[in-house]
Amino acid sequence: MKSTIELLEATDFPAINRCKLTTLQVNMGYLCNMSCVHCHVAASPYRTEMMSRELVELIAQVLQAQNIDTLDLTGGAPEMHEDFKYLVKEARKLGVKVIDRCNLTILIKEGYEDMAQFLADNEVEVVASLPCYSLENVDKQRGKGAFDDSILGLHKLNALGYGRANTGLILNLVYNPQGATLPPNQQMLEADYKRELKAHFDIEFNQLFALTNMPIQRFGAVLLAKNEFYPYMTLLKDNYDAHNLKDVMCRETISVNWLGELFDCDFNQQLQIPVPNKSRRHLKDLLTQNPEGDDIAIADHCYGCTAGQGSSCGGALESDQTKVV
């Protein structure tokens, strides 16, 4: 049986190029307190890959050299990296907006009880995974007890002002479909989330990001095991919308793995598809070189970002958010 990368590499996806680099998305490592079914990086409590302090310090230098607007920290659970707080502080000193892609449950775990307060003190934007507003669906994807722990994490953030009007503390939630389907209309689903979470748990948040599941890593393996890989790829291709090409996240973002290697997006990183320009494949190269105009590496999974309403780390793409899929 072929692997997902072998199935994805032969593609007819259109060629695209990088625009101005505005966002550095950094995967600090694969250590996580959870092992979610939909996780495209296959993170877990047993992973040991973690970024070195030398590379963490280099990130701060690159932010300044490239005049980066946004530092997007992910993992694993990025908060579990011993230099997470150091990097956040260094980025904020430079006036860089910092995003923490948080699984919520980490905020109540032993040893991380002060993390929510730290995020608030440094005005870090929190993008939190909550694949549904019901206990049954969340626990199915993320493990027993995940929903209750997520609600506790949300209450902790709300108590600090996150998601509340006029606080400046941004809390956005992330939805992933349960299986091999496209996400529903983001705006309509956001209204459902806000109504249900407020009514049942008195929780508030700013926006909902509806993300398409990518047919790679753990989710890709599940698709292959269920003989759903080819039907899912057909679904993505049949719903391709060329209007989404101008807004795909890879045009303004570079993804950095825990070794400092550069990729056009987090998904390419997990598939080990490097940036095409061989002279700019490591974080250190960005100290002196500008990647604007470079070709972007493409494969069939790119249809996941352009199908239907589109999908990015910021949710549905602006050009097509009103479409009902």
Q: What share of the chain is helix, strand, coil (3-state, %, to 5)?
A: 40, 15, 45
Domain count, the chain: 1
What are the tens digits of pLDDT across the range 24-47?
999 999 999 877 665 667 778 889
Pairwise CA distance, residues 171 & 219, whole Å: 26
Task: Write out the E strands in 75-193.
Answer: 97-102, 125-129, 171-175
Verify cis geometry, omega within 30 degrees of 0, for the bond prior to 308. no
Task: Write out the E strands in the chain.
Answer: 23-27, 70-74, 97-102, 125-129, 171-175, 207-210, 253-256, 262-263
**Domain encompassing residue 202:** 4-320
Backbone angles phi, psi at 255, to 5 degrees: -100, 135
Pairwise CA distance, residues 122 & 312, whole Å: 25
Domain membership of residue 325 (yes or no) is no
What are the tens digits of pLDDT across the range 44-102?
888 999 999 999 999 999 999 999 999 999 988 999 999 999 999 999 999 999 999 99
Q: What is the CATH number of the domain that holds 308?
A: 3.20.20
Domain membership of residue 314 (yes or no) is yes
Mean pLDDT along residues 19-26: 97
Domain membership of residue 284 (yes or no) is yes
- Confidence check: pLDDT of 153 > 80: yes
pTM of the model: 0.91
Residue 91's closest CA among 2, 24, 167? 24
What are the tens digits of pLDDT across the range 302-313?
999 999 999 988
Pairwise CA distance, residues 190 & 187, whole Å: 5
- Confidence check: pLDDT of 324 > 60: no
What are the tens digits of pLDDT across the range 201-258?
999 999 999 999 888 877 888 899 999 999 999 999 999 999 999 999 999 999 999 9
